[in-house]
Amino acid sequence: MPDADQTALRIHTAFRTHQEAFLELTGKARQRFVERDWHGLQHQAAARLDLYPQAVGEITATFEGRDRPDRSAWADIKASYIEISSGDTNAELARTFFNSVTRRVFATTGVDPMTEFVEGSTVLPESIEAELFYEHPVTGTTTTLVREVLAHHDLGAPYAQLERDVAAAGLQIDNWLRNQLRRMGIERVQTMRSVFYRNKGCYIVGRMIIGGDWNPFVLALTHGDRGIEIDAVLMDENDVSILFSFARSYFHVDIEQPRQMVTFLRSIMPLKPLADLYTSLGFHKHGKAEQFRSLVAHLDGNANRFESAAIDRGMVMLVFGLPGYDQVFKVIRDRFAYPKRVTREEVRERYELVFRRDRVGRLVDAQEFEQLRFRRDRFDPELLEEILRECGSTVDDDGETLTFAHLYTERRVTPLNLYLREAEREPARRALLDYGRAIKELAAANVFPGDFLLKNFGVTRHGRVVFYDYDELCRLSDCRFRDLPPPRDDEDEMSAEPWFGVGEHDIFPEEFRRFLGLPKELRSTFETHHGDLFTVRFWKDLQERHRAGEVVDIFPYPARRRLRPTGL
């Protein structure tokens, strides 16, 4: 066998071994759900994130020193790899793996079409193979339909009250159908054979035809002390899109044919970017590749320049974007303005912390890029000057291109402070109340944002508030919440400096009121619903729950969709 073929086969074997390990670990989610081992599932999720870099690192290490082929030889390896992987049901993932190895071997700057796969976005199949899903007859009541769906999915544990749940779910479906503009019945229902697991929930994901169009059909299930229960039925595209949000952790789902599954999901979430769908299934590296291809397509499709995306200048990150593009780019500044005391290494550690933990729909997923190259003339002159002045240690300027040694990309959202200034009163009120819920849900996930300023939160297209500024983020359990000591005398009361000792991790919740910058006309509304955020008791209660080992319930859908709304 020629050397190129042998090397291509070695890389492909490493990919196949990685995929087997990925699916084996993913497959354990079902038993975690059965045993209600929520901490085990969290640890499993973190361990799964390590599989890809480990696999790439191991195969890359075999090319060190004299064993590293030159670029022309690697082009032959690439040609052999195409032939070897062409019959794979996950060929798009195989090529992304090859690119990861290639970039590590050659420390590639920019993109090298000779050694990497640089074709456009993954082409989805026009039809979905019948083996992917169950087809459910629609011949009786909606209660009968729900019972039929559950009968096809063995979740490994008994239901608490099956008949109660299917009746309640059927009623919710009937009510939803009655509220649609086109009052039509369900014509067909399909559910994917693979069950989706994440955190404390599992999801039977399907679709139904109403009036000739595909609509989402998702059963959300929980497993409590009494057994498995149907917690919600999701039939609205926005609700399901939020379930698969870029601000959530990745699902654990058995996937032999990712393109087929993504095609199914795209049929019920047509606005969801391809990158988001792959990422939500745990293939974040391929999601990152799809995101980059969408960026290249956007740049090729117009002459727009990169411009500053910051409404308020950040002290740690320089943020820029492209008109009409849904991502922003964040580069760590060389120096941080006072009073920031964080270091570059600490900033990266905090972004890594966000990547590895449960984001509960409130932390924007950040993709990390290295050696990203753009033409110099695609930058607005003022932005270019700022980048070179503020981020010189990260950016290389050769006169024609800028190469970013390191940057993050995040979904573009509307900064909350700007949203509140421009929105009508009722949307502003909803956003401000969701801001309070976002802080509480982050705390329930053992996350303390550090900086509660409105400008560090954003509003998504679904109207949900998310947090995106991580340089002061930490674990809630690492904080020390204290009441402000009373002033000893008038001098203390008038002093601009604290008259008491303040430790590095000390937090004084009653001070939050002073710097949140809440609109005057909405302060009382916020206090009514979220005044407990200004008390030490709220924060210490959650810390005690975390120390006791509780995994707090945080539901990824609105309370109005739940059959029995309770909990956080």
Q: Taking a C-beta distance cutoff of 8 angstroms, is the pair 378, 299 a contact? A: yes
At 310 the pLDDT is: 75
Neighbours of 564 (CB within 10 A): 12
Average of per-residue pLDDT across 389-414: 97
Average of per-residue pLDDT across 111-136: 93
pLDDT in tens, 466-494: 999 999 999 999 999 999 887 776 665 66
Please report which helix (H) or strand (E) contains residue 243, including its range: helix 237-243
Average of per-residue pLDDT across 386-409: 97
pLDDT over threshold 60, residue 1? no
pLDDT in tens, 77-97: 999 999 999 999 999 999 999
Cα dist from 384 to 313, 366, 373, 389, 471, whole Å: 15, 23, 14, 9, 24
The active-site residue, picked from 165, 231, 365, 434, is 365
Give CA–CA dist 197/221, Å, rounded. Answer: 10
pLDDT over threshold 50, residue 40? yes
Average of per-residue pLDDT across 399-421: 96
Please report which helix (H) or strand (E) contains residue 224, including its range: strand 213-224
Q: Return the CATH fold of 414-561.
A: Transferase(Phosphotransferase); domain 1 (1.10.510)
At 185 the pLDDT is: 86
Average per-residue pLDDT for the chain = 93
Question: Is the CA virtual torsion 221, 224, 229, 235 positive or negative?
Answer: negative
At 505 the pLDDT is: 87
pLDDT over threshold 80, residue 498? no
Known catalytic membership, residue 154: no
pLDDT in tens, 166-220: 999 999 999 999 888 667 789 999 999 999 999 999 999 999 999 889 999 999 9
Give CA–CA dist 473/346, Å, rounded. Answer: 10
Burial 382-415 (b: 16+ CB within 10 A, else e): ebbebbeebbeebbeeeeeebbbebbbbbbbbbb
Residue predicted with more confidence, 524 or 2: 524
pLDDT over threshold 60, residue 443? yes
pLDDT in tens, 279-305: 999 999 999 999 999 999 999 999 999
Which pTM does this prediction carry? 0.94
pLDDT over threshold 70, residue 421? yes
Q: Which stretches of 107-228 are DSSP H helices?
A: 142-151, 162-178
Task: Identify the band that residue 65 occupies on the pLDDT scale cut at 50, 70 and 90.
Answer: confident
At 363 the pLDDT is: 97
At 500 the pLDDT is: 67
Which residue type does 460 have?
Answer: T
